Amino acid sequence: MSLREFGLLLLAVLTATAGQFLLKLGALKLGKASFNHLLTQVVGIATTPELLLGLALYGLGAVLYILLLTRVPLSVAGPAASLGYVFSVLLGYYFFREPILSRQLAGLGLIVCGVILLAWKR
């Protein structure tokens, strides 16, 4: 994977992760979902700016990922996209005060090492 392709991967992952972050913010604003009030929930989703922007960013991240797939094999791009997990955990920790357990840190370290191994050119 070239530096340009890795940059496209990071842009795709960061855009999708920003979308996930906004989806979480919107979901917190929306409150706990209830199947008894499904129509109200759908209207709430359609009128919550964080959810709409989150969906748009998530979609943009998907478009960028598709562009990446035109340049990089799926066997490299797919696992490398797992960097999104690392960014999601960090966002959860810093913005939502979600704890990071030692086994999560170990898993994130393995993900980063795996991405480095996949992206490394000989």
Report the predicted TM-score, pTM, of the whole model to 2 decimal places. 0.83
CB atoms under 10 Å from CB of 69, counted, come to 15
- Domain locations in the chain as residue ranges: 3-119
pLDDT by 10s per residue, the chain, length 122: 788 998 999 999 999 999 999 999 999 998 887 777 777 888 888 889 999 999 999 999 999 999 999 999 998 888 888 889 999 999 999 999 999 999 999 999 999 998 888 777 75
Cα dist from 81 to 6, 49, 55, 95, 102, whole Å: 10, 26, 18, 22, 22
CA–CA distance, 50 with 26 (Å, rounded to integer): 5
